[in-house]
Amino acid sequence: MVTSPSFRRGSRELSRSDIDRLVDQNGRLRIEVARLEGELSRARAEVEAKGLEVERLKSENASLRAKLEAARREGKRQSAPFSRDRRTPENQRKRPGRKPGEAYGKKGRRLPLDPEEIDEDFRVPLPEVCPACGEDLGDVEPEKLLEQFQEELVTAVVHRRYLIAAGHCPVCDASIRGRHPNQTSDAVGAAGVMLGSTAVSLAAWLHYGCGLSAAKVSRLYGLLGLGVTPGGITLALERLAEDASGTYDALKTALGVSPVVTADETGWRVDAERGWLWVFVGDRVTVYDIAVGEGSRSYMVAEDVLGADYSGILVRDGWGSYRCFKKATHQTCLAHLLRRTNELIADSVAGQARIPHAVRRLLKDALALRARRDCAQIGGAELEAEIAKLEARADKLIASRPTHEPNRLLVDHLARERQALFTFLRVPGVPATNHQAERGIRPQVCIRKNWGGNRTDRGAYAAKIIGSVIRTAVQQGLDPTDVLVEIHTSDGTRSGLDIPTGPDP
């Protein structure tokens, strides 16, 4: 009799049927393992694809955020007049000027001239032919005389020649010569033909104060009868800047002793190279500086203008270079922080707006407290107690640890600016924003929109000096052309500006 083979497994013998069953089970398990391995490979491939998709979306998100931030900066950037209106359809724009109604106010008009002010009288007779019917009027006498007044601008080019007495001192034999108050230079010979001080000063005001290019100033002068090339205008302005360099240094000195200085900066270009235009507004003085290349937006530029030992109150935005003035008391611009919180609130989802809302309430409450102080509704110990409450709220916000990245960056910025948040509450007269600097920089921004910066370093040098003199004159309520004439005719020894030499007693 034939018996089926058997195997011993432990203390038990396995029959052929058991072996066949195990082999079949093993085959099924191998198939299942292969299937699971295939699913695992597909799952890994899907995970890898999802990872790549996540990275792509992160990159796209970062790119879109950068574009959004750039668009916001563009929207906040000071631009040429009416550029915002161009984004609004014409049929949706509001009519410019005052609107009719009770709030219109008093209507203005030019008043008739006083008889003593009249320089020319013109008698206008009746026409020879009736304009209505064409009939010859003959000897028709006028029934009455009607008055009309006109104020006209009449320009004239004056050609001057100076016959300058020259000689030698009988004692030391030194060469001596006379000088007329209207002369702007001692040059004679080939260099002795030049523009007068009024022509140069008016060109400086038109170029640096009104934004006209040198070519347009040249064309305007040509229409008035004074022939001068754009290059001649440019060289004359550079010579004026050399005369005004001493005044510029005096303005920087006055800025260094101003109790409060407001600062800002914006982009500028010199010969297509990117740089920065800085503005510092102090006690009755304004100083511009133009820096190009590496370090043009660094502390070194601000230090050169203000001085490393500036110990007054510096009102500025959140740019880190300003914090390097260790001896100064700082006030950060609350308007910049409020705009940032508003943007975060607009972009937030669900609970992401909690932090920016809290910061916004803090800053609004600080401004409301200032209004109460200025109206004499609060002061002394009560005011100090309210400031302490605001500081405690700020410290609580800084101690928070938000997980949303934009909120984390906002809290970190708040921590860096902690000591500069409420200076305006403790020192009356200190502004809560750098608005004065933004107003000071706007004329130069409009100029940048017109002719784009400077072509040479000498042009940038002239722009910062003459621009500072013009803006300071406007700040002091003076005529910029009169100031520049005095500088030009005195070789910079006089300016006519009221330049402070120290804080008011």
Domain annotation covers residue 307: yes
- Are residue 391 and residue 442 in the same domain, yes or no? no
Domain annotation covers residue 132: no
For residue 500, pLDDT beyond 70 = yes
As a dihedral over the C-alpha atoms of residue 212, residue 216, residue 218, residue 220, rounded to 10 degrees, the angle is -100
The mean-pLDDT minimum among 184-198, 275-289, 430-444 falls in 184-198
pLDDT in tens, 227-251: 999 999 999 999 999 999 999 999 9
pLDDT in tens, 315-341: 999 999 999 999 999 999 999 999 999
Nearest to 431 by CA among 254, 281, 250: 281
Amino acid making up residue 128: E
Determine how β-strand 7-9 pairs with β-strand 286-292: unpaired
| Region of 268 on the Ramachandran plot (φ > 0 left; ψ -120 to 50 alpha; else beta) | beta
- Are residue 407 and residue 444 in the same domain, yes or no? no
Residue 281's domain is classified under what CATH number? 3.30.420
Higher confidence at residue 382 or residue 17? 382
Amino acid making up residue 483: V
- Are residue 287 and residue 308 in the same domain, yes or no? yes
For tokens 């005004």, the residue is: 244
Confidence at residue 82, expressed as pLDDT on a 0 to 100 scale: 43
Higher confidence at residue 52 or residue 85? 52
Query: For residue 226, what are the CA distances in angstroms to 229, 232, 489?
Result: 10, 12, 20
DSSP class of residue 478 equals -
Confidence at residue 5, expressed as pLDDT on a 0 to 100 scale: 52
The mean-pLDDT minimum among 73-77, 298-302, 390-394, 395-399 falls in 73-77
262: three-class secondary structure by DSSP: strand
Higher confidence at residue 367 or residue 493? 367
% of the chain exceeding 70 in pLDDT: 92
Higher confidence at residue 218 or residue 140? 218
Domain annotation covers residue 338: yes
| Residue where one domain finishes, among candidates 426, 448, 470 | 426
The DSSP code sequence of 351-418 is GGGHHHHHHHHHHHHHHHHHHHHHTTSS-HHHHHHHHHHHHHHHHHHHH---SSHHHHHHHHHHHHTG
The mean-pLDDT minimum among 155-169, 407-421, 491-505 falls in 491-505
Confidence at residue 447, expressed as pLDDT on a 0 to 100 scale: 86
CB-hemisphere CA count at 13 Å for 374?
A: 13
Domain annotation covers residue 357: yes
Give alpha helix (H) positions in 77-147: none
Confidence at residue 93, expressed as pLDDT on a 0 to 100 scale: 66
Report for 53-67, 89-103, 107-121, 398-412: range of highest mean pLDDT: 398-412
Averaged over 297-324, what is the pLDDT? 94
Domain annotation covers residue 117: no
For residue 30, pLDDT beyond 50 = yes
Buried b (16+ CB within 10 A) or exposed e, 468-494: bbbbbbbbeebebbebbbbbbbeebee
Confidence at residue 199, expressed as pLDDT on a 0 to 100 scale: 95
DSSP class of residue 261 equals E
Higher confidence at residue 335 or residue 78? 335
- Are residue 421 and residue 442 in the same domain, yes or no? no
Buried b (16+ CB within 10 A) or exposed e, 126-156: eeeeeeeeeeeeeeeeeeeeeeeeeeeeeee
**In degrees rounded to 5, what are phi and psi of residue 446?**
-65, -40
- Are residue 398 and residue 352 in the same domain, yes or no? yes
For residue 77, pLDDT beyond 80 = no
- Are residue 420 and residue 438 in the same domain, yes or no? no
| Residue where one domain finishes, among candidates 381, 398, 426 | 426
The chain-wide mean pLDDT, for the chain, equals 88
pLDDT confidence bin for 100, thresholds 50/70/90: confident
State how far Cα 189 lies from the chain centre. Answer: 45
pLDDT in tens, 450-464: 877 888 999 999 999
Nearest to 195 by CA among 236, 229, 156, 223: 236
CA distance linking residue 136 with residue 149, whole number of Å: 29
CA distance linking residue 32 with residue 46, whole number of Å: 21
Q: What is the largest CA-CA distance in the chain?
A: 166
- Are residue 440 and residue 324 in the same domain, yes or no? yes
- Are residue 278 and residue 325 in the same domain, yes or no? yes
Structural domain boundaries, residue 307: 258-331+434-479
CA distance linking residue 464 with residue 470, whole number of Å: 10
pLDDT confidence bin for 84, thresholds 50/70/90: very low
Q: Is the dihedral of CA 453, 458, 461, 465 positive or negative?
A: negative
CA distance linking residue 91 with residue 89, whole number of Å: 6
- Are residue 292 and residue 317 in the same domain, yes or no? yes
Confidence at residue 67, expressed as pLDDT on a 0 to 100 scale: 80
pTM of the model: 0.78
Domain annotation covers residue 153: no
For residue 299, pLDDT beyond 90 = yes
Averaged over 343-371, what is the pLDDT? 93
Confidence at residue 351, expressed as pLDDT on a 0 to 100 scale: 86
Please tell me the total count of domains within the chain: 2
DSSP class of residue 92 equals G
Radius of gyration of the chain, Cα coordinates, nearest whole angstrom? 38
For residue 81, pLDDT beyond 50 = no
- Are residue 355 and residue 278 in the same domain, yes or no? no
Nearest to 187 by CA among 158, 167, 157, 162: 162
For residue 381, pLDDT beyond 90 = yes
State how far Cα 134 lies from the chain centre. Answer: 63
Nearest to 205 by CA among 13, 425, 443: 443
The mean-pLDDT minimum among 105-114, 330-339, 375-384 falls in 105-114
Confidence at residue 75, expressed as pLDDT on a 0 to 100 scale: 63
Domain annotation covers residue 464: yes
For residue 505, pLDDT beyond 50 = no
List, in order, residues 6 or more apart from 447 with CB less than 8 Å away: 208, 211
| Residue where one domain finishes, among candidates 383, 410, 426 | 426
% of the chain exceeding 90 in pLDDT: 57
CA distance linking residue 426 with residue 416, whole number of Å: 19
CA distance linking residue 432 with residue 266, whole number of Å: 20
As a dihedral over the C-alpha atoms of residue 316, residue 320, residue 326, residue 331, rounded to 10 degrees, the angle is 30
Rounded to 5°, angle at Cα 376 from 371 and 379: 95
pLDDT in tens, 111-157: 888 888 888 998 998 888 998 888 888 888 888 998 888 888 888 89
pLDDT confidence bin for 83, thresholds 50/70/90: very low
State how far Cα 354 lies from the chain centre. Answer: 31
- Are residue 342 and residue 406 in the same domain, yes or no? yes
- Are residue 444 and residue 307 in the same domain, yes or no? yes
Residues 322/313, Cβ–Cβ less than 8 Å:
no
Query: Which residues on adjacent β-strands are paired with residue 9?
Result: 12
Nearest to 300 by CA among 285, 314, 289: 289
